[in-house]
A and B are shown apart, each in its own frame.
Chain A
Amino acid sequence: MTWVFNNLGLILELTLVHIRLSIVPIVLGFVIAIPLGWLAYRFRLTRGLILTLIGLLYTIPSLAMFVILPPLLGIGFLSEANVLIALTIYAVAIMARSVADALASVDPDLRQAAVAVGYSSWSRFWTVDLPLSGPVLLAGLRVVAVSTVSLATVGIVIGVQSLGYLFTNGYERGILASVLTGVVMTVTVALVFDRLLVLLGRWLMPWTRLGRSTGSNAGPQEQETPATVPAGVQPVTKGGAR
């Protein structure tokens, strides 16, 4: 505990650095995954190609990813860009599948109704399909956020600062409190991100809140379960017969 109090400044600074390092890949991953996910959802040919490709990318261990990206992209091995790009690739790999699943989760009747009242396919995508796929998108984004925060710690092995510094430095100097603080802070940041996304979802998708209160006897816990279970299972079954 004394170690923590003596190093509050360092812990706070690393936490902020860690948050910055994680937010960029989460946002970029989400933005890139939307067109990719749409392509995977819309055409059978691109579906197979994209889902297989992202499945393979997701298979690459993080340390190996840091090693092969620099010669492929011409970036510095020890640069922050290396970690940011690697994390973005993982984020896209999880999120693109989620986007495809989310778009497929929209009730086809609603889609037909939108076409019937005269939406063009472009405006239908932005005003009907995308908002209605919100709950599944959110579930995917929560997985992306949490795993990105956790994975960002590995960046320390190529010298990119994050809470991972508390692991390597603490281990080398034999300070258990440092490693433990690193783990606790990483989990805390991940859970805060997760909560914030849930709140953001409630604010952006007020109708999901409405559905929850009118649902017969399903409590909030039970309502949340389907959102998290498939999200947990989706990355699990990536690239397979799905």
Chain B
Amino acid sequence: MNLFADAFAWLFDPLNWQGSGSIPQRIAEHLGYTAAAMILAMVIAVPLGWWIGHTGRGKELVVGLTGAARALPSFGLLFLFVMLVGVLLREPAAVVVLMLLAIPPILAGAYSGFEVIDRRTIDAARAVGMTEWQILFKVEVPLGLPLLFGGLRSAILQIIATAVLIVYIGLGGLGYDIVQGIELRRYDQMLGSALLVIALALVFDALFALLERWAVPRGVRAGRNTDVRTTPHGRRATAELSATT
């Protein structure tokens, strides 16, 4: 446990919180790559996933992609991309690899969010005269949000975890301190920065878990459309359901 005490001492040492290569700078780098990759992945995968979910075309693509992506070693992809585009372009290469990793879970989340909607709900929306765009944005998107957020949550975890490895292609991020600690045999530094990475991942996981919960309309939170009454009784029933399932 002494090692952990040393790690916390390293973490809270004011010297490590200022200057170049300081902890805040590493966190900023880490979050910078994460945000860039995440935004790009969302811009591509969310509309595509919704389109696949809405039209039903290209389902096999999603299933195939999510399966294949799991088999791809992200660590190897980082090296591969940097070698392909050249060391000078390693920053964009890293962002592209991180983005590629995030696309399958987001695509799966966006698509399966639509897929789980009861077809009768959509037929009903069409029957009351909604246009396809209205069906998309007023019915499918809100109902599909829980699974979409699940997909985003998984994607950002994947990105944060892989961004730890970009130090091996000569970039920064929180992995830098871990690897430097390994090389200098400074256990306090490697353990301290490892704990920092874990904390960062947990914070984002919790953040997206909250989003998953609260950005979703009340009626959806039950996960079923058997009881959509808004009477106090119905509300309580759905709340209980969401708490226990």
Chain A positions near chain B (C-beta within 8 angstroms): 44, 55-56, 58-64, 67-68, 71, 143, 146-147, 149-151, 153-154, 157-158, 163-164, 166-168, 170-171, 174, 176, 179-180, 182-183, 186-187, 190-191, 194, 221, 225, 228-229, 232-233, 235-242
Contacts and interface: CB of A to CB of B under 8 A. Distances in A.
Nearest to B67: A228
A147 B70 contact: yes
A240 B198 contact: no
A63 B151 CA distance: 23
Interface string B44-88: 000000000000000110010011101111111101101110000
A240 B212 contact: yes
A191 B67 CA distance: 10
Interface in B179-193: 179, 181-182, 187, 190-191
Nearest to A48: B244
Contacts of A167: 73, 75-76, 79
B146 interface: yes
Contact of A59 (B75, B76, B191, B198): B198
6 closest A-B pairs by beta carbon, nearest first, are: A61-B161, A237-B150, A190-B71, A67-B194, A64-B194, A236-B154
B11 interface: no
B76 A186 contact: yes
B44 to A, nearest CB: 17
A154 B165 contact: yes
B221 interface: yes
A235 B71 contact: no
Main secondary structure of the interface of A (DSSP, over half): helix
Contact of B168 (A157, A163, A183, A241): A157
A229 B79 CA distance: 30
A139 B68 CA distance: 14
A47 B216 CA distance: 24
B99 interface: no
Nearest to B195: A68
Interface of B: 1, 3-4, 59-60, 63, 66-68, 70-77, 79-80, 82-84, 104-105, 108-109, 112, 115, 146-147, 150-151, 153-154, 157, 160-162, 164-165, 168-169, 175, 178-179, 181-182, 187, 190-191, 194-195, 197-198, 201-202, 205, 209, 212-213, 221, 223, 242, 244-245
Contact of A61 (B160, B209, B221): B160
Given A63-B164, A154-B165, A183-B73, A232 B66 contact: yes
B201 A59 contact: yes
Nearest to A181: B76
Contact of A63 (B84, B147, B178): B178
B150 A59 contact: no
Contact of A44 (B3, B147, B244): B244
A221 B109 CA distance: 21
A167 to B, nearest CB: 5
A221 B212 CA distance: 31
Contacts of B198: 59-61, 64, 68
Contacts of B179: 157
A182 B83 CA distance: 14
Contacts of A168: 79, 168
Nearest to A62: B161
